Amino acid sequence: MGWFLKAARSASADPRYSVVSVLGAAGTSVGGGVLLAPDQLLTCAHVVNDALGRAPFDTRHPVGRSIPVALHGPSGTARHTTRVSYWVPARRRDGVPGVRENRDHEWLGDLAVLQLEAMPARPVPLPEWQPMEPGQSLRAWHGTGLSSSFADVRVKTCDGVIAYMDGDATGMAIAPAYSGGPLWAVSRNAVVGIVAAHIMPPTHPTTGLPEPFHSQNVARRSWGIPWQRIENELRAVGAAALFDLPEPDPEDPALPLLTDLLDRCMPSPSLRGDHARAVAERCGYGYADQETAPTTEEFARLLLTEPRALATLVEVLQRRDPAAVPELLAAGRLSEIPKLLSPREHRRLMHLLGLLPAPIKARLTEAVRAALPLAAAFPGDDSPEALLDHLECLPGDSRTEADGLRVPGLLRVIEYVAVLCTPAQRADLRLWCNSVVDRLGIPRPSLAERRSDAEDWARAQRRRTAPSRVLARITRAAADRYRLRMWCDEGEGPRQASTDGDTTYSGAEAAGELLRVLQALYRAAPDGRRPLLEAHVDREGLNLPIDEWNSSAPDDLVPGVLGAEYPLVVICPELLYRYERFLPDWRHRWRHLDTDASLYFGDAAQGRVEVYGALLENKDAVRVFVDVPPRTRDEIVQTCLMMGVPVVVWDRGRQPRSHAVERMTAVTARELPEGVRAYRAKTINRPQEYTGHPVLAWADADRAVPRLQLSEPWESI
């Protein structure tokens, strides 16, 4: 055994937090487990089968199946997803696979190691493991991990393969859902095995109910799998890496260089021991004791077997001996093993990315392609964790200094993600990038260059992703007659498409005029996207059925329903500019559009005052859904528009609860124009199923919004 140990195990670990809950399809505990490593846990194979709804002794490896678990700690419980990394199905004692459920009372195997798909944000201290011996007093817990569920037992026999245990006459008894949980040796503060089965009292052969208690019945007897067998069985299936430190490649060119560097920068065992303990603790490793130190060869081997150890050592030396950092980093770049980030940096990044809203997470691959257009093919696993793991291995591309260190590819990607975020999220990600380049000794101007590239890309994206639009000023001239003025905007600002503001149109005639302009813009669109129709109305026109206007004539073979063919939104400059003190709020909310922060007003008792208070309380809300009867609906909608809410959805119909509003709450903010258009199309296709009449108010703070109250408002654009 070397100085570094595979995992940092603690004799003072709280035994209650050693219990992991293995969850079934209903989210309830079907059994327990216990952590073997910071990201791997041990349980029984039959517990995994139970979680997956299979027969208890099914021998098939659950390839690709995910098993939910819950980790417990002082700060609460956290759900995680796991996959089976090592599978030892139950087999009979004579070696024949396939345990007979009602005939075999002992079996071998029945082990599964589950790999956490993401490291816990707050790692739980790992328990020590020791051999099981007869006479030990043990404690087990139900799979829920509840403190009150402990059952005390004593080991009666243990041959290193199977251990029989009898429970105390008082307190809890081991029962179903205890399987797979740890058996804690109270006097040694260590786990010595896991629960496997409980011997139940005899049952009636016909009814299956327990027989009346008799003094000759077995009471509170269970059996478990001792640690000795667990280790042997797992080693036999190739899981030695769970127990032993791997050996580095003897041909790794970085090995002799790192050994020599460690010898030069840490000549004394005391100094080397201090640094080694700091690295071990941050990487989740154990070590021999506080008084000794590893040899320089042992230390170098760890740096070339634990992927985050070198980054961790650099993190330690950055404060204590910064002069040694450049040579260590240069030597590490000769090997394929060391990763870019230390465990602390990696956890922080995953935490920050986990806080991002789903629309931004969905653009991660887009940001990678933009930041690293010449990068090699991505990994087959498209999860964010796998993608980030791949990015850590990519070189940098900074050209600020010919001889300077490059900005790593991962950091450039994070800069591109940051420009998609809200200001607060962007600041957190940029501070993270700053700390990493400082640790690596990369000049800040190099990072600033990459940051500028990301901002240029974001500006180009905004210009490119904003669809062309037709702006239509629609005012009522008489009953069912309207005046119409139109402007087109392909991204360079509005230009007039009609000048006659005196002619009046019916709804069908106006639809024909609008479709003519929209079709011309659509045909000329370089990206093939349908233009957006922006209907500028006064406060009395917010509920005009413009989207239902149909231009089809009797001899037309195909109808022309305006809001079903093109995304159609309304905007009311009269209300938007009514109180200019709210214009900064409008721009602030629009900048947060990708957060999808929403408010829902569905209480008919709410009025203008309550809405006013809610909007002041939720200054980051970017969209509002209004689902109340018409008598209060218009008051709430107009209040939201006057207070600078850029996106408001309601139903102009008269039903008490809107099918359309309910459906639109599941659509991301940026996709709402298209989502509403698709819904309107479905009202034509399936009117019995899609009964709503959705209206979408949309005020884009990045594009010109003319003011209707001017005498000729459009001429000033």
Q: What is the pLDDT of residue 404?
A: 56
Taking phi first (over 0 means left), then psi (-120 to 50 degrees means alpha), and beta for anything else, what does residue 698 get?
beta
Q: What is the pLDDT of residue 399?
A: 47
Give CA separation, 263 vs 171, 271, 381, 397, 587, in Å. Answer: 58, 11, 40, 32, 59
Q: Are strands 532-536 and 469-478 parallel, antiparallel or unpaired?
A: parallel
459-485 per-position pLDDT tens digit: 877 766 667 899 999 999 888 899 999
DSSP 404: S
For residue 16, what are its two tokens?
A: 């209650």
41-51 per-position pLDDT tens digit: 999 999 999 99
- Asked if pLDDT for residue 577 goes beyond 60, the answer is yes
Q: Which amino acid appears at position 19 of this protein? A: V
Q: What is the pLDDT of residue 323?
A: 87
- Give the separation between CA 354 and CA 710, rounded to whole angstroms: 47
Q: Which amino acid appears at position 40 of this protein? A: Q
587-610 per-position pLDDT tens digit: 999 988 888 889 999 988 888 999
122-168 per-position pLDDT tens digit: 777 788 899 999 999 999 999 998 989 999 999 999 999 999 999 98
- Residue 241: which of 310, 300, 305, 294 has the closest Cα? 305
663-686 per-position pLDDT tens digit: 999 898 989 999 999 999 999 989
Q: What is the pLDDT of residue 12?
A: 67
- Asked if pLDDT for residue 400 goes beyond 60, the answer is no
**Average pLDDT value for residue range 232-253:** 90
Check: pTM over 0.85? Answer yes or no: no
Count CB neighbours of 327 within 10 A: 15
DSSP H stretches of helix in 148-253: 227-236
- Give the separation between CA 531 and CA 676, rounded to whole angstroms: 14
- Give the separation between CA 518 and CA 671, rounded to whole angstroms: 20
- Asked if pLDDT for residue 708 goes beyond 70, the answer is no
- Asked if pLDDT for residue 287 goes beyond 90, the answer is no
| DSSP states along 37-93 | ETTEEEE-HHHHHHHTT--TT--S--TT-EEEEEEEETTEEEEEEEEEEEEE--B-T
| DSSP states along 591-642 | HTGGG--EEEE--TT--HHHHHHHHHH-TT--EEEE-S-HHHHHHHHHHHHH
- Give the separation between CA 29 and CA 20, rounded to whole angstroms: 10
Domain boundaries, the chain: 4-209+217-240, 254-332, 343-465, 469-698
- Asked if pLDDT for residue 300 goes beyond 50, the answer is yes
Q: Are strands 19-23 and 137-140 parallel, antiparallel or unpaired?
A: unpaired
The dihedral through the CA atoms of 590, 594, 595, 598 has a sign that is: positive
Q: What is the pLDDT of residue 154?
A: 95
Contact 106, 162 (CB under 8 A): yes
When mean pLDDT is compared across 382-391, 411-420, 524-533, 600-609, the lowest value belongs to 382-391
- Asked if pLDDT for residue 389 goes beyond 50, the answer is yes
What is the number of residues in the chain?
Answer: 717
- Residue 470: which of 420, 545, 520 has the closest Cα? 520
Please tell me the CATH code under which domain 4-209+217-240 is placed. 2.40.10.120
Q: Which residues contact residue 177 at a Cβ distance below 8 angstroms, ignoring those fewer than 6 apart?
A: 29, 30, 31, 32, 142, 143, 144
Query: What's the mean per-residue pLDDT of the chain?
Result: 87
Q: What percent of the chain has pLDDT over 70?
A: 91
Chain-centroid distance of CA 408 in Å reads 23
Q: What is the pLDDT of residue 414?
A: 95
- Asked if pLDDT for residue 706 goes beyond 70, the answer is no
- Asked if pLDDT for residue 289 goes beyond 90, the answer is no
Report the b/e string of 46-63 with b at 16+ CB within 10 A.
bbbbbbbeeeebbbeebe
Q: What percent of the chain has pLDDT over 90?
A: 56
**Average pLDDT value for residue range 239-262:** 90
- Asked if pLDDT for residue 207 goes beyond 90, the answer is no
Q: Select the more confidently predicted residue: 329 or 291.
A: 329
